[in-house]
Amino acid sequence: MVCPLEDESQYLLTYAQATLGRTKNATLRSLKVSRTIADLADLETITPAHLAEAFHYSGWSDLSERLPASSLC
């Protein structure tokens, strides 16, 4: 599976996993969902907005309270 990420998306994914202590499997599931969201938007790369939406669907509701504000712009 090829999932090209924008630089900000890679940072967001790494930050969320390190800060929230999620497992690799949970992170991978969110990455798969964000890939689907990007596909529906007909985009080649996964943006931070796609990841944030996937996190929301995955039940990472505490993520928005802990992320740096600049990561979702």
**55, part of any domain:** yes
The string of pLDDT tens digits covering residues 17-47 is 888 777 888 888 989 999 999 999 999 999 9
pTM over 0.85, yes/no = no
More confident residue, 34 or 62: 34
**28, part of any domain:** yes
Q: Which domain holds residue 32?
A: 23-60
**71, part of any domain:** no
**36, part of any domain:** yes
**45, part of any domain:** yes
pLDDT in the model for residue 19: 82
The pair of three-digit structure tokens given for residue 30, joined into one six-digit string: 């969110």
**73, part of any domain:** no
Residue 10 has pLDDT above 50, yes or no: yes
Q: How many domains does the chain have?
A: 1
User: Is residue 51 within 8 Å of residue 3, measured between CB atoms?
Assistant: no
**34, part of any domain:** yes
| Contacts of 26 by beta carbon, 8 Å cutoff, 6+ apart | 58
